[in-house]
Structure 1
Amino acid sequence: MIFVTLGSQKFQFNRILKEIDRLIEEGKITEEVFAQIGYSDYKPKNYNYKEFLDRDEFNNMMSKCDKVITHGGTGAIIGAVKNRKKVIAVPRLSKFGEHVDDHQIQIVEEFHRMKFILSVKNMQELEKNIYKLNDFKPKEYVSNTRKIIQSIELYIS
């Protein structure tokens, strides 16, 4: 199962929801998909969703899935990686009204560089990365929060 989680910030992320809908409609995603869509106003047609999940619902979805597609938020990425899920992260972009700036690009690139996740730079890469997830062997996450924060801060600066 693929769990799509878009966080709880007050920004839409319709682009990713529409692309997943298209991939399901074209038969390119055949497994079950469930999305926590947050403040997005696009309502998926081909998979189940809920705007927000409470903690128990979220944990239940995380335990049921083997793959996670998420936005570029640090918490969302680390949460999925800690749970040993195969992760694709797509940064929110300001030009689409998905965030106030493009800081998620650097976050996603750094987690990808460290081999924890697969990243999507443009939505056309999502399909091929979903296929790549089957063989992807992410680096095992060993909790060392301070070291990761320092690494990301160093990369961003």
Structure 2
Amino acid sequence: MIFITLGSQKFQFNRVLKEVDKLIEKGVIKEQVYAQIGYSDYKPKNYSYENFVDRNTFSKFMDNCDLLITHGGTGAIITGVKKEKKVIAIPRLKKYGEHVDDHKLDIVSQFKDMGFIYAVYDVQELGEALTLIRGMSFKRYHSNTTAVIQIIDDFINLNL
């Protein structure tokens, strides 16, 4: 199953939803698709969606998907990577009225350069990305929370 999450910012991201509809119609996407479309005003014709889902529903879809398509939000990317999902991130762009600036480009590029995700910068390349990502492997996420806690603990103990 493919899970699409477009975040909770008050901006549309219609071009992704439209492209997925086209890819389903062309038979490029054959599996089930579910989307959390946020403030997008395009309503998908060929797959299920809701504007927003609660945390439990979001978690269920994230757990059950094989592939995550996201808007380039840090939270969605990290959640997908932590759950060892294959992630395609498509950054929102200012020129399409999808955000106030192009900071999503930097976020997506960083995660791509670190080897965690597949980045799509032109939505018309999504079909090719869906084919290529199936055979790709990505780096696994390793939390360094324990190391950070140890550093803080050591600092506190040194200063007592």
* TM-score normalised by the chain length of structure 1: 0.90
CA distance in 1, matches of 2:111, 2:88: 10
Which residue is 1:63 aligned to?
63
CA distance in 2, matches of 1:71, 1:100: 14
Which residue is 1:114 aligned to?
114
Q: Is 1:133 the equivalent of 2:133?
A: yes
Which residue is 2:98 aligned to?
98
How many residues matched? 145
Structure showing greater Rg: 2
TM-superposed deviation, 1:133? 1.6
| CA RMSD in angstroms, aligned pairs only | 0.9
CA distance in 1, matches of 2:18, 2:124: 12
Which residue is 1:81 aligned to?
81
CA distance in 1, matches of 2:64, 2:25: 23
Deviation >4 Å, runs of 4+: none
CA distance in 1, matches of 2:63, 2:123: 26
TM-superposed deviation, 1:4? 0.2
Query: What amino acid is the match of 1:93?
Result: L
Query: What amino acid is the match of 1:131?
Result: T
Secondary structure, counterpart of 1:87 in structure 2: strand
Which residue is 1:153 aligned to?
none
TM-superposed deviation, 1:24? 0.3
TM-superposed deviation, 1:144? 3.4
Secondary structure, counterpart of 1:3 in structure 2: strand
The Cα offsets for residues 39-63 of structure 1, whole Å up to 9 and x where unpaired, read as 0000000000011000010011011
Secondary structure, counterpart of 1:141 in structure 2: coil
For structure 1, list consecutive stretches of 5 or more residues without a partner in the other structure.
146-157
Which residue is 1:14 aligned to?
14
Query: What amino acid is the match of 1:51?
Result: N
Which residue is 2:39 aligned to?
39
Query: What amino acid is the match of 1:140?
Result: R
Secondary structure, counterpart of 2:9 in structure 1: coil
The Cα offsets for residues 60-119 of structure 1, whole Å up to 9 and x where unpaired, read as 101110100000111110011011100000000001000000000011011111110000
The Cα offsets for residues 6-50 of structure 1, whole Å up to 9 and x where unpaired, read as 011110000000000000011111011000000000000000001
Q: Is 1:72 the equivalent of 2:75?
A: no
CA distance in 1, matches of 2:138, 2:13: 25
